């Protein structure tokens, strides 16, 4: 394993911002894995740290195939991680909305440019990301529908679902989209939490990446087969919105199997404590996404269900 400095930016009042990566094997640029870009992505940071640990052991056992090169970048935004702020502290901008970056632009544009320059030319790209709403998912692979997408290979992760979605205008500035535009087959993995560590889904995510690497001929190690993946699209998800604003008590978590009419949660009056409304499942299926906000707004997405 080689520890490398990918990008450094000086600071007036604190230590320089450094983006650190861990390189395994050698030869070609086979696969790059990127973790936390936002300051509250503790789960994503943890998953990458465990992936580094596992790959280190595989390399020591001679399990990295000759010519294969793998790199893991656990954290892109250590400044925001250190203060627990989701976006860039000074101007509240999101690094994952700044790609491919601009090396003469604003701070987050420069960070994105420095990182993306290093990430170009890799055959496979994997990003552990978080959703814009606080909550957790069934662990799944997500990719954007571009001419360079490869949903068939996405099944090699062995996770229950592969979600293919049409990119929106705001998505064109993300790492996933730009990776694909610059000829890298890119995948984003979502798991059951963001701001706290969910051990079970962390293990599942690490195993999925190692399974993918093995099936692409990059490593040789013991790995289970996972599960057959189902390819879904946005239209396959049934969103359940909050009928009212108030304090939210969830009764179902991501991954739960529910029947139509089952109780998903309750919304309480935030001052008097009475139950304002009960949130019921509109269909049979799995809870694909579950919101973890304690206080919710009317019409906010609370759950997304997918047919089992």
Kindly report, residue by residue over 221-232, the tens digit of the pLDDT.
988 889 999 999
Model confidence at 147: pLDDT above 80: no
Per DSSP bridges, beta strands 140-144 and 2-9 are unpaired
d(CA 126, CA 59): 20
Q: For residue 13, what pLDDT band results from cuts at 50, 70 and 90?
A: confident
- Cβ–Cβ < 8 Å for 231, 253: no
| 155: β partners | none
Q: Which burial class, exposed, middle or buried, applies to 170 when counting CB atoms under 10 A from its CB (0-12, 13-18, 19+)?
A: exposed
| CATH architecture of the region 236-306 | Beta Barrel (2.40)
- Cβ–Cβ < 8 Å for 260, 284: yes
- Cβ–Cβ < 8 Å for 137, 145: no
Count the residues in the chain.
308
Model confidence at 215: pLDDT above 90: yes
Q: How much is the pLDDT for 308?
A: 82
Select the CATH number that applies to the domain covering 2-232 from these four: 3.40.630.10, 3.10.129.10, 1.10.3720.10, 3.30.70.100.
Answer: 3.40.630.10
Residue 231 in tokens: 């390819």
Q: How much is the pLDDT for 294?
A: 95
pTM score, two decimals?
A: 0.94
Return the domain boundaries, the chain: 2-232, 236-306
């Amino acid at each position: 394993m080689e520890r490398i400095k990918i990008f450094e930016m000086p600071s007036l009042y604190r230590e320089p911002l450094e983006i650190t990566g861990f390189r395994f094997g050698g030869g070609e640029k086979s696969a790059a894995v990127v973790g936390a870009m936002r300051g509250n992505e503790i789960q994503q940071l943890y998953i990458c740290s465990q992936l580094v640990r596992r790959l280190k052991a595989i390399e020591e056992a001679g399990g990295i195939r000759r010519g294969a090169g793998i790199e893991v970048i656990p954290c892109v935004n250590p400044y925001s991680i250190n203060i627990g702020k989701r976006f860039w502290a000074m101007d509240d901008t999101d690094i994952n909305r700044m790609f491919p970056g601009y090396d003469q632009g604003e701070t987050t544009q420069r960070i994105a440019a420095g990182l993306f320059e290093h990430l170009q030319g890799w055959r496979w790209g994997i990003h552990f990301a978080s959703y814009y709403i606080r909550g957790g998912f069934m662990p799944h692979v997500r990719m954007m529908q571009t001419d360079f997408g490869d949903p068939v290979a996405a099944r090699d992760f062995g996770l229950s679902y592969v979600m293919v979605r049409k990119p929106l205008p705001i998505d064109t500035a993300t790492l996933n989209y730009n990776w694909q535009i610059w000829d890298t087959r890119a995948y984003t993995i979502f798991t059951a939490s963001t701001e706290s560590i969910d051990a079970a889904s962390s293990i599942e995510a690490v195993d999925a990446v190692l399974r993918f690497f093995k099936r692409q001929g990059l490593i040789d190690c013991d790995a289970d087969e996972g599960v057959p993946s189902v390819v879904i699209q946005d239209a396959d998800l049934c969103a359940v919105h909050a009928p009212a604003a108030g304090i939210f008590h969830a009764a179902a978590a991501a991954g739960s199997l529910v029947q139509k009419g089952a109780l998903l949660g309750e919304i309480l009056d935030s001052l008097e404590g009475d139950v304002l409304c009960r949130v019921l499942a509109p269909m049979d299926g799995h809870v694909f996404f579950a919101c973890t906000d304690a206080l919710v707004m009317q019409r906010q997405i609370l759950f997304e269900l997918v047919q089992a």
